[in-house]
Amino acid sequence: MTLENIDLTISSNILILILLLIIGFGYTYFIYRFTIPRTSNVTKIFLILMRSLVLGLIILFLFEPSIILNFLNRNKPINLLLIDNSSSIVNKDSLNRSNKVHKFISDFKNKVNGNIEIASFGKDVTLLNSENEIKLNFSEPLTNFENIPEFIKELKDNIASVTIVSDGIITDGTNSTLEIEKLNIPIFTIGVGDTSHQSDIGIKKVEFNKLIYLNSKTEIRGMISNLNFANKNIMVSLFDKSGLIQQKQINLNDSGINNINFDYEAKEIGKQNLILTISQLDSEVTYENNKYPFIIEVLDDKTSVLIIAGSPSPDLSFLNQSLAKNENIRLSKIIQIASNKFLDNVDYTRKIDSAKAIIMIDFPSKETPQNLFQSVINNLKLKNTPYFLILSELTDYTQLKNYKDILPFVIKNVSKDYSFVQPKIISEGSGIINNSSEWKNLSPIRIGNKQIEVKDNSSILVSGKLRNEQIEIPLIFTQKVASSRRIVLNGFDFWKWELQSDRKLENLFTSFMNNSVKWLSTKKEELIFITTNKNIYNSNETVEFIGNVYNETLQPIIDADLEVEINSDTYINNLKIQSDNNGIYSGSVDIAKSGDFNYEGTIKIKGENPKFVKGKFIISDIKIENINFVLNSNYLRFISNTSSGKSFNIANYSDLFSMIEQLSIINTNDEAVTTKYELWYNKWILLIVILFLAVEWIVRKQKGML
């Protein structure tokens, strides 16, 4: 810090100050010109000087004087050195490489002027004392570049350059090229490692939904890694058993990682074996990792639904219109229009046998033929065909009572009348009911004159309160028994919902029926998946978990809470798995142990009991840092190029320090620092005034002038 100048300021006109000082000095000279008794000229001059200083300071205080000191502070930027301290640096030719790295550190400290900071990194970044001699042991088990940008941001603002000494081999975390580029700081890289051109490309991982519907599109995401093949073009292809599905050409990234997406639309039901492949390049170390097989289960999007109606009605028309809008439903009907008379004279035996789900409305009625009702009952009992039963004023409860074993409710007493109730959502039923907040705006519906009691193994989705009574009536409820699924709607006159002025309310019923059909026809019991991307990992390699969660209408759930507990004989850890809003959950953990590991995933979905998934994986004692020693110069060059720096080799970095010096000069800035002293209330100045008055008084007393 250099003093540039000193300023004296006062609160009034300086001419007035000068005038008062002249008057004060003149007055002092006047009173001491002739003294009694007479004194020597030396004494007079001394007394005049003392009195003049006192009067001058007092007059000056009246004008509130301040002294301002202006300094110039030259801020020199920081040049940061980061050294890879992982074991892969010295695994081959260890002494020679260690000596080269330590020589570079010494050159950096001696040739880079100004402020320098030095840190080592492996799994984490550690700041070192640059004043002391630095000796690294190169023992870190992992190399993580992901933590470097955050460390740089937290260090200090004024960083002129960053120099990274590394082999560029990432064994933990991501390459973080985007975060490094955002730093907007020139980064110089010094390559250390085996310069033999061992090169490879491979498919690192593939993410996908395990369950999809026929003729529906799903996204398949692949991650392609490359070593020493930057800027090469390759073909990435997706195959199923029918052949090539889609093919894309990509240019391999300097960072060593490319992400690619494919849209897949299944054309066949069942488990589909897919393969993601990448084309082969000359001089690859292996071609084994150029393909990645995986399985997607494709479910039938077409459901054969049979509507059986005991009579035509407005509710039947509304129901039929709602289901007819869904192209994935193959709808057939058995509609009774009179005693022993049916619409279109249908062959109901064939229709009942081919149905995947049966919807019954006003059925059975008192007019229902016994052979038809018995055919339906036999189908429900023997084939466990899922059904949707709508209880109405025409429903014959006497016939239903005889088959209480396949009903999710028990028939109780006869009520007074057909009451109106307002729907109230209790549960969304794992996807059966959407937009639950809108249901309260629907018109009331009527319930039958029979009181029913829901069985313990059933779940109430919607209830309704009787007017002027506290009791709530179950309106919509479900039941799952073995492989059979059942839904009951205990109400009628819901056709009035079609007359709502708000079209969203009309669509509530359509959505409800479509989801009900999906729920009824779902045969999958396994709707949650948590797996690792590999079964066997190398020591210190990141373990990645991928999860899928579906509701019982087989729609991906994106807001579930997934947690994995990982354990072995000597290890336990909990991991949260996050959703990417596409129905795919992912998370990763680093385990610094080898052995056999078990994991249990806990899936929590709003309104449902927790579900659990178990699995296993192995971590071998082969250290990942001991697998690959080949210098990844592509990645180091990519870091330098994207940050306006330059890449060097540990054997030749002669131009580096002049570049750093130029950046230091450019980033050096001068800061003006001002310090202000208020003299007029400074206690030390007051003490000086008192001291001068005391000295004058003592001299006057000695000379007998008092």
3-state secondary structure of 381: helix
Round to whole Å and give the CA distance between 557 and 593.
34
Q: What is the DSSP letter of 86?
A: B
The rounded mean pLDDT for the chain is 86
Per-residue pLDDT, 462: 94
Q: Which of 21, 25, 24, 1 is nearest to 13 (CA)?
A: 21
Radius of gyration of the chain (CA): 43
Q: Which residue has the tokens 């494919």?
A: 262
Facing residues of 226 across strands? Answer: 201
Per-residue pLDDT, 366: 92
Round to whole Å and give the CA distance between 239 and 259.
18
149 prior amide bond cis, ω within 30 = no
Per-residue pLDDT, 416: 58
- H/E stretch holding 242 reads none
Residue pair 272/209 in contact (Cβ under 8 Å)? The answer is no
In the chain, how many H helices and how many E strands? 13, 37
Round to whole Å and give the CA distance between 297 and 572.
33
Query: From residue 455, how far is each of 115, 267, 405, 411, 459 by CA, in Å?
Result: 78, 41, 11, 10, 9
Q: What is the DSSP letter of 499?
A: G
Question: What's the pLDDT tens digit per position in 506-552?
Answer: 688 999 999 999 999 887 777 899 999 888 887 767 899 999 999 88
Facing residues of 250 across strands? Answer: 234
H-only helix segments in 546-643: 633-642
Q: Write out 288-323 in H/E/C secondary structure.
A: HHHEEEEEEEEECCCEEEEEEECCCCHHHHHHHHHH
Question: What's the pLDDT tens digit per position in 279-288?
Answer: 999 888 778 8
Round to whole Å and give the CA distance between 161 and 276.
41
Mean pLDDT, 10 residues at a time, the chain of 706 residues: 71 79 81 79 81 80 78 79 86 76 93 90 90 86 87 84 90 78 91 75 89 88 89 94 93 90 90 93 85 89 92 94 91 91 82 94 94 94 94 91 91 74 88 88 85 91 79 91 90 88 78 93 84 82 89 88 94 91 84 89 87 90 61 85 91 91 82 73 78 81 75
Residue pair 194/92 in contact (Cβ under 8 Å)? The answer is yes
Q: Which two tokens stand for residue 676?
A: 């202000």
Inter-residue long-range contacts of 3-6, CB under 8 Å, 24+ positions, other chains counted: 3/69, 3/70, 3/71, 4/70, 4/71, 4/72, 4/672, 5/70, 6/67, 6/68, 6/69, 6/70
Q: What is the DSSP letter of 367?
A: T
- H/E stretch holding 377 reads helix 370-382
Per-residue pLDDT, 658: 92
DSSP string, 617-682: EEEEEEEGGGT--B--HHHHHHHHHHTT--EEETTB-TTHHHHHHHHHHHH-EEEEEEEEEEGGG-
- For 670, other C-beta atoms within 10 Å of its C-beta total 9
Per-residue pLDDT, 53: 83
Amino acid sitting at position 569: D
Cα end-to-end span (Å), the chain: 51
Q: What is the DSSP letter of 468?
A: T
